[in-house]
């Protein structure tokens, strides 16, 4: 994912700041493959019910069905939006889609909104940067 961000030259975008860096990072990375990845119960259920080419084993690990070739299961991030003023969080959707490589068609199997506190990220970064500078000064 870091290579995708670098190749998109995300580090050069003027509109990416410390407050929205995680969202810029998520948008500038290519969709990632879920084959052989262990997933949570909700995603496992969605794959089991909606996927034509993939299934989940007893350990919640994604595997390709024997009968289905030429499909891929990918996840990506989409639909960044601001939360309301009371909660202070931003949201982005984790989307899992099954892609038929021969026809270049896709079907969304799962969407989950993820909340994210940008101020917490920014403050954590500043605290760690202060500690790093303190350590450099004393070494």
The residue-averaged pLDDT of 10-27 equals: 78
Task: Count the Cβ atoms, other than its own, within 10 Å of residue 110.
Answer: 21
Residue 61 has pLDDT above 90, yes or no: yes
Convert the pLDDT of each residue in 94-138 to its tens digit.
999 999 988 889 999 999 998 888 778 888 888 989 999 999 988
What does the pLDDT read at residue 39?
A: 96
Whether the pLDDT of residue 88 is over 80: the answer is no
- The residues spanned by each domain of the chain are 31-138
């Amino acid at each position: 994912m870091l290579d995708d961000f670098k190749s998109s030259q995300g580090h050069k975008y003027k509109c990416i700041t410390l407050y929205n860096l995680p969202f810029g990072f998520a948008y500038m990375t290519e969709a990632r493959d879920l084959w052989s990845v262990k997933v949570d119960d909700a995603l496992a259920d969605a794959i089991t019910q909606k996927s034509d080419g993939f299934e989940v084993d007893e350990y919640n690990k994604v595997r390709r069905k024997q009968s289905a070739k030429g499909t891929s299961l990918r996840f990506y991030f989409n639909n960044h939006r601001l939360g309301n003023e009371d909660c202070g969080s931003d949201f982005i959707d984790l989307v899992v889609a099954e892609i038929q490589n021969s026809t270049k068609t896709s079907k969304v199997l799962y969407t989950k909104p993820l909340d994210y506190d940008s101020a917490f990220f920014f403050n954590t970064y500043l605290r760690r940067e202060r500690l790093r500078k303190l350590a450099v000064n004393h070494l």
